[in-house]
Amino acid sequence: MMGPAHSLSGAAAWLGVGAAAAAADHAMPWPVLVTGALICAGAALAPDLDHKAATISRAFGPISRTLCEVIDKISYSVYKATRKPGDPRRSGGHRTLTHTWVWAVLIGAGASALAMVGGRWAVLAILFVHMVLAVEGLLWRAARVSSDVLVWLLGAASAWILADVLHQPGNGSDWLFAAPGQEYLWLGLPIVLGALVHDIGDALTVSGCPILWPIPIGRKRWYALGPPKGMRFRAGSWVELKVLMPVFMLLGGIGGLAALGVI
């Protein structure tokens, strides 16, 4: 799928988690619901770090472009080192390592650990990165015609405001993890979810997605998981733009209202 659909699906997924948490008597404070939805929307772009033409490659200028090239090479090296006889030969690392459950868990766990150890500045850094990505994904038309600096300023302002709101007592810095020193441990959850939602979205396209790596399936370790070929679509097709994106918006709205106890 393309960047906007990935971001919408990420936001909708976290709002759905918010609805489920409310139903399970672990309701999210509204700042956690809003912040998590934005983080998840941004994190749903991150697996495309292995693709130099993806939305995320443009998000932070030369830094993200260079990072994409490095991740592509690392992903390709891991693919070559772990492929089985049934896995095809390929020339790049797109839709390999960063499109697996292993990557999603590692990135989310790393973010949680960084937030716990690094304190406020680490939280701000995590929020800034994901707010910029959320702007690039959710407001992609406006982001493309504006300067990178304006997008970064919006991301920085959003991160600063959300960090201040979350820090207030009762606003959710200790949601789910209330022990001393575990504040912001939950920040990794929307990052894991965003990456997995991205992978599931890509699995619906014609190429599929090797979400289950390194679990072997038959003669393949990089099995491209997906529905039957007749049910798949091409990235950017009318199915994505005219069907899936409106569905994501509808489900996100319903999930948000349920999470807030409105319905």
Tens-place pLDDT, residues 18-70: 999 999 988 999 999 999 999 999 999 999 999 888 888 888 989 999 999 99
pLDDT number for residue 144: 61
Could you give the C-alpha distances from 40 to 15, 75, 244, in angstroms and in order?
10, 23, 17
d(CA 224, CA 212): 9
Kindly state whether residue 263 falls inside one of the protein's structural domains: no
Write the DSSP symbol of residue 141: H
Q: What letters, b where the CB count within 10 A reaches 16 and e where it falls short, cover 113-138?
A: ebbbeeeeebbbebbbbbbbbbbbbb
pLDDT number for residue 149: 86
Kindly state whether residue 101 falls inside one of the protein's structural domains: yes
Find all residues with CB under 8 Å of 241, minimum gap 6, and list them: 5
Kindly state whether residue 144 falls inside one of the protein's structural domains: yes
Could you give the C-alpha distances from 177 to 24, 86, 105, 114, in angstroms and in order?
16, 43, 18, 15
Range of the structural domain that residue 47 is part of: 1-258
Kindly state whether residue 89 falls inside one of the protein's structural domains: yes
Kindly state whether residue 157 falls inside one of the protein's structural domains: yes
d(CA 43, CA 75): 18
Give me the number of domains the chain comprises: 1
Kindly state whether residue 15 falls inside one of the protein's structural domains: yes
